[in-house]
Homo-oligomer: A and B are copies of this chain.
Amino acid sequence: MSTDADAQRKQEVASRNGDDWGECQPASMAPGYSGLEAREYRPGSRPGAGYVRRVRDPKAEFRFVEEGVLEATTEANAARSGVAKVVGGIKRVLIGQPLASSQAIHERLTKIKALAVLSSDALSSVAYATEETLLVLILAGTAALAFSLQIAAAIVALMIIVGFSYRQTIKAYPKGGGSYIVTKDNLGTLPGLLAGASLLIDYVLTVAVSVSAGVAAITSAQQELQPYTVEIGVFFIAFITIANLRGIRESGNIFAVPTYVFILSMYAMIVVGFAKLFTVGIHPVTETSVPPAVETLTIFLILRAFASGCSAMTGVEAISDGVPAFKEPQAPNARTTLLWMVGILATMFAGITLLSHFLGILPEDPASPGYETVLSLIAKDVFGTGFMYYLIQAATALILVLAANTSFSDFPRLSYFLARDGFMPHQYAHRGERLAYSTGIITLGLLSGILLWVFDAQTDALIPLYAVGVFSAFTLSQSSMVRRWLTRKEPGWQTSWVINAVGACATGLVLVVIIATKFMFGAWIVCLLIPIIIAMFLTIHRHYNQVQGELEGETPLSPAVIKHTIIVPVASLNRATIATLAYARSITPNVTAVHIAEDEESARSFREEWQAWGDRVPLVTIESPFRSVINPLLRYIDNIDRADPNDTITVILPEYVAAHWWEHLLHNQTALRLKAALLFRPGIVVTSVPYHSSRTPAAKPA
């Protein structure tokens, strides 16, 4: 009884699926050639795909795993065609041999190394943050520069608030809480996308700003390189892009040296600077002309200077994003490291601002010839132009390039999350040959390169665009945490809640200040871009969802219901055409050849040729007085489709297989244009039957 029921159920499933697939025969492989042995095919048996048995050849392209499962070896990965080989060769030189998925390495970082890897972005921003504050204040004359002290105090306070706030995030998200994920989790998709869009923009800006500032550190020390500012910047970006395509790990060792050299040299400069100031005194080495005041000192100007200085805050969130990279116990280690980082960042920033104040440093116009950064001026005053000066400039340039490199991990990772959730093209979720998310890396390299080029590699021109995204993400992420504590009420939520609320309010307020003061100077670009990017995310999401819905339909699909109608466009009657017609005829007797003729005369002569050949396939000749081929053919196909809407129409085209790329230009033009037109025409199957020397497939002897 149960077998009967079984059979009946099978029958039902079969009919729902529109069965009638019958027996299928698998393709077989040549014995002994590729190290795969063909399994004998016994008609009537159901062999599945298991026709490969064992490895015989060390140069085999496939390794036998089990019945029906092969593993591709590096041999199978090798390109064979000329063009592909050249492209492959260039790729090997630039990014190296492909890596297998199993070769992915996950380094666990100690706190010392994690500080180096995760804080280069945050720490490096002291290289330009003081200067950007001063550049705004000096618009109101040198007297206004004194306000830099109050501004620095406010920023240091903000750093401490945000630092403590992110310590709460680490507690709640020990697996890493990027703003996109945290916001999407707690506030919903749209705020999550807002955070995502803000961060994508800011990662691009981080690269452009850091590289510009790094180049400025170099040109300050080597004035003769100044005319090549943009070229050096583009070179750095290209270098970082290729390095990331190679898949450099965020290796603690690579990052540790420059980061700690930078930290130590900054502290050395601050300590030696103050020691000299209060003992022997310092005589400024460089003379700078005092620029005239061009604006009056208003609250707005001071707030604008504060907003510019807030660029020092970028990258503070990196540690809370990167918790999984820490050694166990991960969360406590990360929280400690975050404390360290905020401490170092705050003291360095405060020290540099104080020094510049007591030294009476005047910021130079970055567009002027002989421009030097404020940091370079301070270092010269403190150390003169000796070894320490060049060490500081080199370490500054290096840590800024490392900071740009941080974005090259963050941008592709965020793109991956967005692509995984269907908000960005799927390509962003695929790992490239070297296990890196190549599409994201290339996108970031191109966008930041273009940005650097458009803004002439001038840090101060980029700063008004900067920080809008960072503070949006800060505010959203911390508001999310507030919401989370309130809904979950986990033990100890009250303290965390207060800290995050203070953080959210503070960063939200700063965001308003930043947008208000920088809007006219460039922030409007970002404010315009964010909604555009979110709209793009949503459009892509809707599209993928729609396709997914269509693909999951329950319509029965079965070979038995397919009724073939085949149309073969023929330009002339030759071996390739006949082979194509034979191929068509071997599928169904329902084949029509269509010939487009320029005029009556040529239509008649083609028909005569056709009859002489034997009139084996019905021919329709279409006289096209305007000599166009594509549109009359498409209209004819439409008519056939309307005549039998239930038929499956296949258009079969002979296609020349070129031995050399240039031969393509001499053939296939009409076939290619027809294929392009049919690509946008739903419901028509398009088949290309290749022809080339004696290899026309239908011409093989039986």
Say yes or no for A644: interface residue by CB 8 A criterion. yes
Say yes or no for A80: interface residue by CB 8 A criterion. yes
Note all chain B residues with C-beta closer than 8 A to A685: 583, 687-690, 697
Evaluate contact between B24 and A100: CB separation under 8 angstroms. Answer: no
Evaluate contact between A574 and B551: CB separation under 8 angstroms. Answer: yes
Q: Which residue of B lies closest to A69 (CB)?
A: B621
Q: How many residues of A contact B (CB 8 A)?
A: 158
* A646 CA to B38 CA, complexed, in Å: 16
* A699 CA to B555 CA, complexed, in Å: 7
Chain B's nearest CB lies how many Å from the CB of A212? Answer: 31
Chain B's nearest CB lies how many Å from the CB of A430? Answer: 7
- A701's partner among B561, B599, B623 (CB-CB below 8 A) is B561
Contact with B along A562-577 (1 / 0, CB 8 A): 1111010000001110
Q: Which stretch from A136-144, A514-522, A609-617 is at the chain B interface?
A: A609-617
Chain B's nearest CB lies how many Å from the CB of A607? Answer: 7
With contacts A621-B70, A683-B690 known, is A592 near B49, CB below 8 A?
A: yes
How many of these chains are in the complex?
Answer: 2
Say yes or no for A68: interface residue by CB 8 A criterion. yes
Evaluate contact between A697 and B574: CB separation under 8 angstroms. Answer: no
- A101's partner among B68, B579, B625, B689 (CB-CB below 8 A) is B625
For chain A residues 661-698, which have a beta carbon within 8 Å of chain B? 663, 665-667, 669, 677, 679-698
With contacts A26-B618, A77-B628 known, is A698 near B543, CB below 8 A?
A: no
Evaluate contact between B72 and A639: CB separation under 8 angstroms. Answer: no
- A666's partner among B72, B425, B567, B683 (CB-CB below 8 A) is B425
Evaluate contact between B627 and A431: CB separation under 8 angstroms. Answer: yes
Evaluate contact between B75 and A642: CB separation under 8 angstroms. Answer: no
Evaluate contact between B61 and A698: CB separation under 8 angstroms. Answer: no
Evaluate contact between A30 and B642: CB separation under 8 angstroms. Answer: yes
Say yes or no for A386: interface residue by CB 8 A criterion. no
Say yes or no for A174: interface residue by CB 8 A criterion. no
Note all chain B residues with C-beta closer than 8 A to A560: 586, 702
Q: Which stretch from A256-264, A504-512, A629-637 is at the chain B interface?
A: A629-637
Say yes or no for A426: interface residue by CB 8 A criterion. yes
For chain A residues 80-116, which have a beta carbon within 8 Å of chain B? 80-81, 83-84, 98-102
Evaluate contact between A543 and B625: CB separation under 8 angstroms. Answer: no
For chain A residues 18-44, which have a beta carbon within 8 Å of chain B? 19, 21-31, 33-34, 36, 38
Q: Which residue of B lies closest to A646 (CB)?
A: B700
* A630 CA to B592 CA, complexed, in Å: 34
Note all chain B residues with C-beta closer than 8 A to A443: none
* A24 CA to B592 CA, complexed, in Å: 8
Evaluate contact between B701 and A682: CB separation under 8 angstroms. Answer: no
Say yes or no for A74: interface residue by CB 8 A criterion. yes
* A622 CA to B75 CA, complexed, in Å: 14
- A575's partner among B553, B561, B607 (CB-CB below 8 A) is B553
Chain B's nearest CB lies how many Å from the CB of A105? Answer: 15
Note all chain B residues with C-beta closer than 8 A to A574: 551-552
With contacts A543-B666, A625-B101, A682-B695 known, is A564 near B586, CB below 8 A?
A: yes
Say yes or no for A229: interface residue by CB 8 A criterion. no
Note all chain B residues with C-beta closer than 8 A to A271: none
- A620's partner among B49, B544, B596, B646 (CB-CB below 8 A) is B49
Q: Which stretch from A161-169, A364-372, A651-659 is at the chain B interface?
A: A651-659
Q: Which residue of B lies closest to A97 (CB)?
A: B626
Evaluate contact between A433 and B628: CB separation under 8 angstroms. Answer: yes
Note all chain B residues with C-beta closer than 8 A to A58: none
Evaluate contact between B693 and A585: CB separation under 8 angstroms. Answer: no
Note all chain B residues with C-beta closer than 8 A to A17: 614
- A683's partner among B25, B102, B620, B695 (CB-CB below 8 A) is B695
Say yes or no for A598: interface residue by CB 8 A criterion. yes
Say yes or no for A589: interface residue by CB 8 A criterion. yes
Say yes or no for A591: interface residue by CB 8 A criterion. yes
Say yes or no for A62: interface residue by CB 8 A criterion. yes
Say yes or no for A339: interface residue by CB 8 A criterion. no
With contacts A648-B697, A693-B682 known, is A578 near B557, CB below 8 A?
A: yes
* A33 CA to B642 CA, complexed, in Å: 8
Note all chain B residues with C-beta closer than 8 A to A626: 72, 74, 77, 98-101, 433
Evaluate contact between B636 and A62: CB separation under 8 angstroms. Answer: yes
Q: Which residue of B lies closest to A38 (CB)?
A: B643
Evaluate contact between A49 and B656: CB separation under 8 angstroms. Answer: no
Evaluate contact between B72 and A635: CB separation under 8 angstroms. Answer: yes
Say yes or no for A525: interface residue by CB 8 A criterion. no
With contacts A635-B75, A682-B692 known, is A559 near B586, CB below 8 A?
A: yes
Chain B's nearest CB lies how many Å from the CB of A184? Answer: 21
Evaluate contact between A582 and B567: CB separation under 8 angstroms. Answer: no
Chain B's nearest CB lies how many Å from the CB of A700? Answer: 5
> What would 19 more interface pairs be, CB under 8 Å, given A26-B620, A27-B649?
A19-B616, A27-B590, A30-B639, A61-B636, A69-B620, A70-B636, A72-B632, A76-B632, A76-B636, A80-B634, A84-B677, A99-B626, A100-B625, A101-B598, A550-B575, A550-B694, A557-B699, A646-B701, A687-B688
A selection of 6 A-B contacts at a CB cut-off of 8 Å is: A17-B614, A27-B649, A72-B596, A551-B691, A562-B582, A655-B679
**Which 5 A-B residue pairs are closest in the complex by CB-CB distance?**
A72-B632, A26-B618, A561-B702, A551-B574, A100-B625
